[in-house]
Amino acid sequence: MKGTFYGVGVGPGDPELLTLKAVHAIQRADVLIAPKTEKKEESTALAIARPHIREGTAILDLVFPMVYSAHTLSSAWEANRDIICELLAQGKQVVFLTLGDPMLYSTYIYVYNLLKDRGFSIETIPGITSFCAIGSRLGYPLAEGNDVLSIIPATADDAVLDKALAGSDSVVLLKVNRNFDQLLAKLDRSGLLTTAVMVTKCGHADEEIVTDIRAAGGQKVNYLSAIVARRPKA
């Protein structure tokens, strides 16, 4: 019998913020895939899942080089897909770990698309997103009543960012580490800077909360940082 491929969301960082379903899948896995974008770095998703991993579970470090669209998948990705297909054909239960939720800006989405028509059974197990954890951590409601909440990758084009910021009551900004200073200026222009809070590595031992995000201007910002902001109520 063929194995099943599980895409498991491990949440933002606290090993207690995994669902029961995620923990059960990790404990039953024959092989855990710990995706990384570069060879040298540690897989953060693996570190979060670590307390739940059964001794003796095979762990496969696979490097998925950063991609910017489904059309630029490199041969490394195809080689990884073939490795996963081989394990599934051998009847192995394969768990692919992913930060936060698997269906939100995740490497898993590309892997899922590469595997979905290959005749294997696939189960995606949702995870707690970084921004849901941040809202709870800060006591910061993300949206109330009829508020329009936008989830925005700060890597989006300028015009798209400006439009989303102007048209929202409340925003979550992900991938904020690049062009951070320009982002501060945009938040200021759109009237969202005074309420903005940035959290770096939410739920990790070295979590940081920055309430005056202007003070972070000109400094290096960690990739695992997100900003929440909302339009002050009249």
Of 2, 137, 175, 231, the one binding ligand SAM (CB under 6 A) is 175
Q: If binding is defined by CB under 6 A, does position 202 make contact with ligand SAM? A: yes
User: Which segment (19-27, 74-82, 158-166, 171-179) binds ligand SAM by CB under 6 A?
Assistant: 171-179
- The nearer residue to ligand SAM, 18 or 85, going by C-beta atoms, is 18
Q: C-alpha 200: how far from its chain's center?
A: 13
Per-residue binding letters, 4-43, with ligand SAM (x by CB under 6 A): --------xx------------------------------
**Closest approach of ligand SAM to the CB of residue 200, in Å:** 6
The DSSP letter of residue 25 is: H
Tokens standing for residue 92 = 């192995």
- Nearest residue to 107 (alpha-carbon basis) of 68, 50, 152: 68
β strands within 48-137, DSSP E: 58-63, 94-98, 121-125
- The nearer residue to ligand SAM, 64 or 85, going by C-beta atoms, is 64
User: Which segment (30-38, 84-92, 182-190, 221-229) binds ligand SAM by CB under 6 A?
Assistant: 221-229
- The nearer residue to ligand SAM, 84 or 152, going by C-beta atoms, is 152
Three-state secondary structure call for residue 165: helix
Q: If binding is defined by CB under 6 A, does position 226 make contact with ligand SAM? A: yes
Q: If binding is defined by CB under 6 A, does position 130 make contact with ligand SAM? A: yes
User: Which segment (63-71, 86-94, 156-164, 219-227) binds ligand SAM by CB under 6 A?
Assistant: 219-227
Q: Which amino acid is at 227?
A: I
Residues 66-105 that bind ligand SAM (CB under 6 A): 99-101, 104-105
Which region, left, alpha or beta, applies to residue 101 given φ > 0 means left and ψ of -120 to 50 means alpha? Answer: beta
Q: If binding is defined by CB under 6 A, does position 223 make contact with ligand SAM? A: yes
Of 17, 23, 85, 174, the one binding ligand SAM (CB under 6 A) is 174
Q: If binding is defined by CB under 6 A, does position 129 make contact with ligand SAM? A: yes
Of 88, 96, 203, 230, the one binding ligand SAM (CB under 6 A) is 203
Q: Which residues bind ligand SAM (CB under 6 A)?
A: 12-13, 99-101, 104-106, 129-130, 174-176, 199, 201-203, 223-226
